Amino acid sequence: MGGSIQIGRILGIPVRVHITFLILVAFIGFAGLVAGGPSRALWSMIFIVALFACVVLHELSHSLVARSYGVRVESITLLPIGGVASMEDMPRKPHEEALMAIVGPLTSLAIAGALYVVANVLHYPGPVAYDHRPLFVMLMWTNVMIAGFNLLPAFPMDGGRVLRAILAHYMDHVRATNIAVSLGQGFAVMIALAGIFLLNMNIWLVLIAVFIFLGAGQEGQQVRTQAVLEGISAGQAMIRRFETLDRNSPLSVALAYATQGYQHDFPVVEGDTIVGIVTRQDLLNGLHHLGPQSTVGEVMTTNVCQVPPDANMADVYRRIAQGGCNVILVREGDRISGIVTPESFRDQLIASAGQPPPRPS
């Protein structure tokens, strides 16, 4: 996510802080200073930092369960409205997703339990605030609230994920997601209305509601896209009639040729073999930096990705999204029967719009 700073790594997972979160800490410190002097400012800032340490533990628990199912966790980022664990994928089996989701609120409850023991059994309530509220007691209740809030059955909150996993036992993944998304968005609207009318324009709640609403919609879209792509093979989606460029052609000639048709990405050949890939943009950049007499071979990428015709398009999409290859060649035995480009996905999704997505097998 743009605008965030890495502050460290826990168990190999980078922990990042978004710049807006730092602004929030500074703002809370400033507000405390104005309202009650340095000690109040210090207490407020300790509280917010300790709270977000609890949020990191919550996200870490999701991440560790996801990782145990083979999902790569890219980072945990702290935002003013909470933490986000970015994962490359989601566990696909419903019980795995349910377990990954439920450990978060359970972790928050466990932290609350530990704080209860420290404050009430060991009688160490932590530094006391300006209004005599002890830090650990405040943190305990906040963790209980975090657990409760996350258990709302509002997708993409943890409770919404558990709900989808339960629904997915009775119907296919896409339908379960659609229901969970609608419920999540319904909850988001209710939370926003409550924030505006019942809680006197609570901007925090409204922000969280917007976040839930957009997050639910986005994830619903991803799941639908994935389902469509899983039902299509590279052999079905590939472009069979494609142009190639010669490695030794000058850029000026290649570009004149490349701008004639609709194709944006070109396999580069030397004799009968494909030796690289070049995009229209590569040609333009090359023309600008190296001049018209340099050749296609000088600006092409030599990283050529290939898949068999029966590879499913969801996997091909993931390979393109991860970067490294913009065009994928579809190889059948020792010949290239077609290419898949980023436009192929858009075409497939347009072609399948209005049709029910294929059932996941």
Under rule CB under 5 A, residue 104 binds Zn ion: yes
Q: Where are the strands (E) in the chain, listed by range?
A: 4-10, 13-18, 73-79, 82-87, 245-246, 265-270, 273-279, 305-307, 328-332, 335-340
Whether 59 sits among the annotated catalytic residues: the reply is yes
**165 vs 234, which CB is nearer to Zn ion?**
165
Choose the binding region for Zn ion from 5-13, 142-150, 279-287, 325-333 (rule: CB under 5 A): 142-150
* For Zn ion, the closer CB: 158 or 265: 158
Comparison of 55 and 176: residue with beta carbon closer to Zn ion: 55
Binding mask 210-249 for Zn ion (x = CB under 5 A): ----------------------------------------
Smallest separation (angstroms) from Zn ion to the CB of 1: 17
**How far, CA to CA in Å, does 221 sit from each of 113, 175, 178, 262?**
38, 12, 9, 27
Question: In angstroms, what is the minimal distance from the CB of 113 to Zn ion?
Answer: 17
Question: Considering only 129-137, 150-158, 189-197, 331-339, which stretch makes contact with Zn ion by CB under 5 A?
Answer: 150-158
What does DSSP assign to residue 121? I
Among 36, 76, 42, smallest CA distance to 56 is for: 76
Shortest separation between residue 71's beta carbon and Zn ion, angstroms: 15
Across 3-103, where does the E strand assignment appear? Answer: 4-10, 13-18, 73-79, 82-87
Nearest-CB residue to Zn ion? 104
- Total residues at interface with Zn ion (CB under 5 A): 3
* C-beta closer to Zn ion: residue 112 or 174: 112
Look up residue 204 and give its two tokens.
């925090």
Nearer of residues 146 and 325 to Zn ion, judged by Cβ = 146
Q: Which is nearer to Zn ion, 158 or 282 (CB)?
A: 158
Structure tokens at 17: 């802080």
Least distance (Å) from Zn ion to the CB of residue 145? 13
CB within 8 Å of 168: residues ≥ 6 apart: 94, 176
Sign of the Cα torsion 337, 320, 217, 146 reads positive
CB of 55 to Zn ion, least distance (A): 9
Say how far apart CA 222 and CA 210 lie, in whole Å.
18
d(C-alpha 198, C-alpha 83), whole Å: 26
Question: Nearest approach, Cβ of 295 to Zn ion (angstroms)?
Answer: 53
Of the candidates 276, 101, 248, 256, which has an alpha carbon nearest to the alpha carbon of residue 266? 276
Task: Count the alpha carbons within 13 Å of 201 in the hemisphere toward its beta carbon.
Answer: 0
Contact characters 154-183, Zn ion, x per CB under 5 A: ----x-------------------------
Q: How many residues does the chain have?
A: 361
**Candidates 42-50, 96-104, 290-298, 344-352 — which segment interacts with Zn ion by CB under 5 A?**
96-104
Q: Which of residues 279-338 bind Zn ion (CB under 5 A)?
A: none
Compute the distance between CA of residue 76 and CA of residue 158 in angstroms, rounded to an integer.
Answer: 16
The single residue of 59, 96, 219, 230 carrying the catalytic annotation is: 59
The residue ranges that bind Zn ion (CB under 5 A) are: 104, 150, 158
Tell me which residues are annotated as active site.
59
